[in-house]
């Protein structure tokens, strides 16, 4: 079902979208003191933890092992495999392991509980996309290509970071 068509009307959004193809809406949320569960402690989990830490979230990591830098970012590091109880009190969850079955289980359990989840291994299991961030003091810019082109979003965020550094 066609919802919007740029051929029939003009819009700043550009392009045609169906119900399942809408671009993702950027939503800025106060994460200060909020529990964010990160399942996994490898390179992807570390990058996301490094992005989240300056926003004051309480980062809880569950992974038997991982990057040592995670020690300084996590409020708690449960050095074991994921357990369903880890979801208690989480307002956001990042499934960032190298095991697709674990990431799928985490996503399924989050959906049952109404907890927004991002799975690094399957964008169809994501309730939100993790944006590229450009930040200078209180100015925060989030960039996403709605899961369609990660390189484009990363490039745009990098250019915005450079632009901000020149100001």
Beta strand spans in the chain (E): 2-4, 17-18, 35-39, 58-62, 76-78, 92-95, 117-119, 132-136, 139-143
Average pLDDT over residues 9-34: 68
Q: How confident is the model at residue 2 (pLDDT cuts 50, 70, 90)?
A: very low
- Band (62; pLDDT cuts 50, 70, 90): very high
Question: What average pLDDT score do residues 30-34 get?
Answer: 95
Which residue in 20, 147, 13, 25 sits closest to 5, CA to CA?
13
pLDDT at 18 over 90: no
13-27, 76-90, 139-153: lowest mean pLDDT where?
13-27
| The pLDDT value given to residue 20 | 60
Residues 6+ apart with CB under 8 A from 133: 51, 140, 141, 142, 143, 157
Region 103-118: what's the mean pLDDT? 96
């Amino acid at each position: 079902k066609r919802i919007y068509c740029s051929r029939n009307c003009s819009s700043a959004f550009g392009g045609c979208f169906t119900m399942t193809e809408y671009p993702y809406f950027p939503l800025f949320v106060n994460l200060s003191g909020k529990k964010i569960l990160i399942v996994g402690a490898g390179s992807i989990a570390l990058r996301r933890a490094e992005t989240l830490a300056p926003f004051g979230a309480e980062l809880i990591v569950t992974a038997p092992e991982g990057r040592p830098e995670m020690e300084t970012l996590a409020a708690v590091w449960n050095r074991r495999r994921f357990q369903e109880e880890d979801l208690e009190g989480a307002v956001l969850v990042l499934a960032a392991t190298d095991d697709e079955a674990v990431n799928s289980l985490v996503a399924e359990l989050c959906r049952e509980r109404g907890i927004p989840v991002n799975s690094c291994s399957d964008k169809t299991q994501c309730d939100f996309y993790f944006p590229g961030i450009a930040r200078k003091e209180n100015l925060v810019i989030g960039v996403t290509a709605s899961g369609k082109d990660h390189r484009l979003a990363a490039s745009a965020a990098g250019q915005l970071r450079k632009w901000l550094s020149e100001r």
